[in-house]
Amino acid sequence: MTEQNFENIFTDGRVGERLPKIMIAAVDTGEYDVERSVAELRELIRTAGGETAAEVVQKRPAPDSATCVGSGRLEEMKKLVDDFGIDAAVFDTELTATQIRNIEDALDIEVIDRTMLILDIFAQRATTREGKIQVEIAKYKYLLPRIAGMGKELSRTGGIVGMRGGPGETKSELDRRHIRSRIESLGAELKDIEARRELLRKRRRKDGVLTAAIVGYTNVGKSTLMNALTDAGVLVENKLFATLETTSRSILLPDGRSVLLTDTVGLISRLPHHLVEAFKSTLEEAANADVILHVCDSSSDDIEEQTKVTRELLSELGCDGIPVVTVLNKSDISEWSESLLPEDTVLISAKEGKGLDRLLEALTRALPETARRMKLLLPFSEAGLLAKIRADGNVFSEEYTAEGIKVDALVDVKMVKRAEGFEEK
């Protein structure tokens, strides 16, 4: 499958130079906070390159099986399309192929759902081979159960790649067989990439490399924090899913140890399960970390919901038991008081570089003790101990005096007990 198979109003340039005008449609069944979800969808549309021109919300006990919304509301949407020159409608729920076809017939514009929009953004922003494979697998898994009713959609998108016949003319079972084969092929390639990543993880563990994973809701400032701590040069935009790729950089902690800091893809509420599955190999960096930095937007009214989404996914990934440092970012535009925060929570502004020293101290405390920074006065007879400290730790300075060798060093945990007898008073 190529990108053309999921082209839509955001990528095919059918409205010239102006931004596509998008109508949001949502059905409020009481299962979730529709107002919050629509606000998030508005941001997703902006991220994808569109402009929200109208919003329609209908309360119903359940979505209509044929058109999601009722016939009366569909007529209202058609009038908005004509009055405002709407280019496409985005529904804040997953639609079936039949629903998409029926709605498009009624509105005479393109119709996509929340999942298709997220997939479009993912496709725009994936740059590595792994990221592109993950996006393609997610697209195929979305398409598979809808293939029977997508005659019109396949015609618009050029049919399934690799099939004989004209656009939209392939048999649905043949399409399914091709999709399953492609998913299997992509999955095998992804497993090879994951296997290489696991080898790197094992090598890091063997070498005693400490790791910390940055996780959190999308657009809370994870990439800004990564840049502030490491000068990693990660793309920073005020958009959802600004980056999808994993970035790792080493930073120096106050106690002299180094930790490998890894950024992960941002999360979002009501993220379809198969999208989570597709990106698990990236998110599993958190499950293999020594410490998790959970970044939150302290200025957001939705901080509690965003925190809940993140914690639930971390639990699903098997991260229970891993120490977590909660990082309340964007203190420059919020009113949180640091004096009221628990020890494992820090208030920072990654944009302005404020509170980063306290964050590094909290990270240091949360990491397992693999080494300790010590100031020693070693007798000359203990030159052998100094050699071991130098080999397994890190000597910052040493000075030969009449009393012995003064050493400022990071001492491996295995030698801390022996070295304690020579600590300077």
DSSP-assigned letters across all residues of 111-159: EEEHHHHHHHHHHHH--SHHHHHHHHHHHHHHHGGGGGG-HHHHHHHTS
Please report the pLDDT score of residue 280 as a whole number.
67
For residues 11-36, average pLDDT: 83
For residues 155-166, average pLDDT: 35
Task: Name the range with the highest mean pLDDT among 192-196, 229-233, 340-344, 420-424.
Answer: 420-424
Question: 97-151 pLDDT, tens per residue?
Answer: 899 999 999 999 999 999 888 888 877 777 778 878 888 888 888 888 877 555 4
Please report the pLDDT score of residue 393 as a whole number.
82
Task: Name the range with the highest mean pLDDT among 10-24, 216-230, 319-333, 365-379.
Answer: 319-333
Would you say residue 273 has pLDDT above 70?
no
Cα–Cα distances (Å) from 226 to 222, 329, 363, in that order, read: 6, 12, 14
Q: Identify the residue with better confidence: 79 or 339.
A: 79
Residue that the structure tokens 């599955």 belong to: 277
Question: 76-98 pLDDT, tens per residue?
Answer: 999 999 999 999 999 999 999 89
Task: Name the range with the highest mean pLDDT among 146-150, 248-252, 404-408.
Answer: 404-408
Please report the pLDDT score of residue 164 as a whole number.
31
Please report the pLDDT score of residue 15 as a whole number.
59
Question: What is the reported pTM?
Answer: 0.70
Q: What is the mean pLDDT of the chain?
A: 82
How many other CB atoms are there within 10 angstroms of residue 156's CB atom? 17
DSSP letters for 23-83: EEEEEE-SSS-HHHHHHHHHHHHHHHT-EEEEEEEEE-SS-BTTTBS-HHHHHHHHHHHHH
Cα–Cα distances (Å) from 194 to 274, 291, 332, in that order, read: 18, 21, 39
Question: 183-239 pLDDT, tens per residue?
Answer: 999 989 988 988 887 787 677 666 678 889 999 888 898 888 988 988 755 545 555
Please report the pLDDT score of residue 11 as a whole number.
60
Please report the pLDDT score of residue 157 as a whole number.
42
Q: Which of 144-158, 309-323, 324-338, 371-385 has the lowest mean pLDDT?
A: 144-158
Would you say residue 3 has pLDDT above 60?
no
List of domains in the chain: 3-125 (3.40.50.11060), 209-366 (3.40.50.300), 371-422 (3.30.70)
Please report the pLDDT score of residue 76 as a whole number.
96
**CA distance linking residue 157 with residue 71, whole number of Å:** 27
Would you say residue 257 has pLDDT above 60?
yes
Question: 55-75 pLDDT, tens per residue?
Answer: 999 999 999 999 999 999 999
**Percentage, residues of the chain above pLDDT 90:** 38
Would you say residue 175 has pLDDT above 60?
yes
How many other CB atoms are there within 10 angstroms of residue 293's CB atom? 27
